Amino acid sequence: MMHIKILGMGCRNCRTLEAYARQAAAELGIEAEFEEVKDMDKIMSYDVMMTPALVVNEKVKVAGRVPSKEEVKKLLAEEA
């Protein structure tokens, strides 16, 4: 099972990134567990200075921007 984390405080961009990640996983048929990480100490432990960030299987894939859904699909496919 893939572990996907959205790092951020729950802003609109964070919610958009989570929606894209959920849609991309579903379209790719990937079974995934999602987690929102809002604790700043935990976010900083990933060396992320700007949110939102996408973490897949404990690897930071994108930080400080919202990638397109197609980019998220590509990132998830690489980890599958």
Catalytic position from the list 11, 26, 40, 50: 11
- Residue 20 bears catalytic tag: no
How far apart, in whole angstroms, are the C-alpha atoms of residue 62 and residue 24?
15
CA–CA distances in Å: residue 48 to residues 14, 31, 76: 14, 26, 19
Catalytic position from the list 6, 14, 37, 66: 14
As given in the structure block, the two tokens for residue 17 are 């990134």
- Residue 16 bears catalytic tag: no
CA–CA distances in Å: residue 54 to residues 3, 33, 58: 11, 13, 9
Provide the annotated active-site residues. Answer: 11, 14
